[in-house]
Amino acid sequence: MSLGGLVLGQYRFERKMFWRNPSAAFFTFALPLLFFVLIASVFSTDSDELEVLVPGIAGMSIVGATFTALSYYLVQLRENGILKRVQGSPMPASAYLAGLLASAVANAFVSVLVVVAVGRLGYGMDANLDVLELLVFTTLGVIAFGGLGVAFAFVIPNADSAPAYVNAVFLPLIFISGVFYSADDLPPVLDAIARALPLKHVIDGLSGALVTGTWPAGALLVLGVWCVAGVVAALRLFRWE
Q: What is the pLDDT of residues 77-104, one digit of tens each?
A: 888 888 888 777 777 777 887 888 888 8
**Is 76 buried (19+), middle (13-18) or exposed (0-12) by CB count in 10 A?**
middle
| 176 sits in which H/E element | helix 162-176
Contact between residue 134 and residue 52 where contact means Cβ atoms under 8 Å apart: no
* Model pLDDT for residues 171-211, shown as the tens digit of each residue: 999 989 888 887 777 888 988 998 999 999 999 999 888 88
40, 123 contact by CB (below 8 A):
yes
Residue 116, pLDDT > 80, answer yes
Candidate from 20-34, 57-71, 171-185, 186-200 with smallest mean pLDDT: 20-34
> How many helices and strands in the chain, by DSSP H and E?
12, 0
Average pLDDT over residues 107-133: 82
Please say whether the beta carbons of 232 and 214 come within 8 A.
no
**Choice between 164 and 91, residue whose per-residue pLDDT is larger:** 164
pTM here is: 0.89
